[in-house]
């Protein structure tokens, strides 16, 4: 049999001699003529909060499901805690927690009954059920029927269902999708708590502010390829994504703004001219004698700026947020 995928790779080891939580080596997955995952290599370290980012269809779910042992890669290798997750590795299952977008619920049960049922599947005890509900902020919802939970509360219950057996490695698929801003912030605290407990988290999200706030490292997947992996702050710094100055319309016209020293690009958004620059101080100094600085707002670059820049460039877009040719990324960007 000519089958090499999912052999345990020679996983790199950490300082204490343990392998990373997840090791992915040159993994590919093809559906028909579409390569959903295209040669991805990645380590997720123990205790790390790792965010997998990318546009819809980039291959995030496929890659995560391969890590979880739910799908088989066509080629390459995957190890979770040094072991192959495929074929279904029952020894690994208690160590993994998986929350998906389509988490199933026992809708006619109460919250507590539902989680007890899930816990029983893993042999987790009742004390774990109570503690887990408390940790996700559902401590006062025990007797509410799952049917009657709000969307945000269901998300919490889905996460609780992935956590109740105390897994070391947790996969979360857009856990804050469809939550209102308050619900998202509350859930951030839950996720930070999991990290503080030393658990490893691999999660996908389209909320770039969230990834910036929570993740130790992010990987950006575009068309099946992992184009960059780094800490959000390193990405922001090394891409040199520009800051923005928002100048109320009417103070200076677009041509005048574009001619200011240090301005890379000018657009109009709402009631402001948006001046993009990598030399904020220089532009402010030039602007001050012309318009004064009252009402001028400064926006520093964010992970979202970097993400939009990378995904636009990889997609062949021409209107990236920052695209001067003289930038020399020094982070772990993989060339296609
Ligand atoms: P993402 O999670 O980033 O949105 P997916 O992993 O779901 O991306 O999908 C990557 C690509 O693979 C998409 O083009 C998608 O249509 C395709 N794909 C995913 N699952 C299947 C499948 N079971 N059969 C055929 N194509 C699939």
Residue 317 has pLDDT above 70, yes or no: no
Look at strands 243-248 and 272-277 and give their pairing: antiparallel
What pLDDT does 24 receive? 98
Q: Is 100 in the pocket of ligand 1 (CB under 6 A)?
A: no
Alpha carbon distance 74, 30 (integer Å): 7
CB of 31 within 6 A of ligand 1: the answer is yes
pLDDT at 184: 86
> In what helix (H) or strand (E) does residue 145 lie, and over which residues does it extend?
none
The CA distance from 116 to 126, in Å, is 7
Residue 239 scores a pLDDT above 50? yes
Q: Any bridge partners for residue 145, and if so which? A: 110
Ligand 1 pocket, residue 229 CB under 6 Å: no
83 pLDDT more than 50: yes
DSSP structure class, residue 110: B
Ligand 1 within 6 A of CB of 205: no
Per-residue DSSP letter, 295: T
The residue among 285 and 12 whose pLDDT is bigger is: 285
The answer to whether 21 and 199 have CB atoms below 8 angstroms apart is no
Q: How far is the CA of 29 from the centre of ligand 1 (A)?
A: 10
Maximum pairwise Cα distance, the chain: 76
**Whose Cα sits closest to atom 27 in ligand 1?**
31
> Residue 109 has what DSSP assignment?
S
pLDDT in tens, 15-59: 667 789 999 999 999 999 999 999 999 999 999 999 999 999 999
Question: Which residue has its alpha carbon closest to ligand 1 atom 14?
Answer: 57
Cα separation values, 250 from 123, 246, 293, 299, Å: 67, 12, 13, 20
The rounded Å distance from CA 36 to ligand 1 centre is: 6
Q: Is the pTM of this model over 0.75?
A: yes
Nearest to 53 by CA among 266, 217, 274: 217
Per-residue DSSP letters for 169-223?
EEEEESTTTT--HHHHHHHHHHHHHHHHTT-EEEEE-S-HHHHHHH-SEEEEEET
Q: Which of 35, 37, 57, 66 to mutate to test the pocket of ligand 1 (most atoms within 8 A of CB)?
A: 57
Q: What is the separation, in whole angstroms, between the first and last Cα of the chain?
A: 32
Confidence band (pLDDT; 50, 70, 90) for 217?
very high
Residue pair 127/185 in contact (Cβ under 8 Å)? The answer is: no
Superfamily for 22-237+308-321?
A: P-loop containing nucleotide triphosphate hydrolases (3.40.50.300)
Q: Is 63 exposed, middle or buried (0-12, 13-18, 19+ CB in 10 A)?
A: buried
Backbone CA torsion sign across 157, 161, 165, 168: negative
Q: Convert the pLDDT of each residue in 243-255 to its tens digit.
A: 899 999 999 999 9
Q: Which of the four pLDDT bands, split at 50, 70 and 90, describes residue 137?
A: confident
Q: 63: CA distance to ligand 1 center in Å?
A: 10
Q: What is the pLDDT of residues 275-307, one digit of tens each?
A: 999 888 999 999 999 999 999 999 888 899 889
Position 198 pLDDT exceeds 70:
yes
The β-bridge relationship of strands 200-204 and 49-53 is parallel
Q: Which atom of ligand 1 is nearest to the CA of 62?
A: 6
**Does the pLDDT at position 104 exceed 90?**
no
For residue 326, is pLDDT > 70? no
CATH code of domain 242-300: 3.30.70.100
* 58 CA to centre of ligand 1 in angstroms: 8
Give the closest residue (by CA) to ligand 1 atom 16. Answer: 57
Domain chopping of the chain, boundaries: 22-237+308-321, 242-300
Higher pLDDT, 310 or 3: 310
């Amino acid at each position: 049999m000519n089958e090499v995928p999912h052999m345990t790779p020679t996983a790199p080891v950490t300082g204490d001699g343990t392998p990373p939580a997840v090791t992915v080596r040159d993994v590919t997955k093809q559906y028909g003529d579409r390569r959903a995952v295209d040669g991805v290599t990645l380590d997720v370290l123990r205790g790390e909060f790792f965010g997998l980012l990318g546009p819809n269809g980039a291959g995030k779910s496929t890659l995560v499901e391969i890590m979880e042992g739910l799908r088989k890669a066509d080629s390459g290798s995957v190890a979770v805690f040094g072991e192959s997750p495929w074929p279904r590795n029952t020894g690994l299952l208690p160590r993994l927690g998986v929350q998906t977008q389509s988490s199933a619920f026992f809708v006619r049960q109460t919250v507590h009954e539902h989680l007890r049922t899930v816990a029983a599947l893993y042999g987790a005890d009742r004390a774990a059920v109570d503690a887990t509900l408390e940790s996700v902020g559902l401590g006062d919802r025990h007797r509410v029927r799952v049917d009657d939970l709000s969307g945000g509360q269901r998300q919490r219950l889905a996460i609780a269902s992935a956590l109740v057996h105390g897994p070391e490695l947790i996969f979360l698929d857009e856990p804050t999708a469809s939550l209102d801003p308050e619900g998202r912030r509350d859930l951030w605290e839950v996720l930070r708590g999991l990290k503080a407990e030393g658990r490893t988290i691999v999660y996908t999200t389209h909320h770039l502010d969230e990834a910036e706030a929570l993740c130790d490292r992010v990987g950006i997947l575009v068309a099946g390829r992992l184009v960059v992996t780094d800490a959000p702050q390193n990405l922001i710094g090394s891409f040199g994504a520009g800051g923005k100055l928002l100048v109320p319309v009417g103070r200076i016209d677009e041509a005048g703004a574009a001619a200011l020293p240090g301005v890379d690009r000018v657009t109009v958004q709402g009631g402001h001219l948006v001046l993009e620059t990598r030399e904020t101080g220089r532009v402010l100094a030039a602007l001050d004698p012309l318009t004064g600085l009252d009402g001028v707002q400064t926006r520093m670059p964010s992970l979202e700026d970097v993400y939009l820049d990378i995904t636009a460039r990889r997609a062949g877009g021409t209107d990236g947020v920052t695209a001067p040719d003289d930038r020399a990324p020094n982070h772990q960007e993989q060339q296609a």
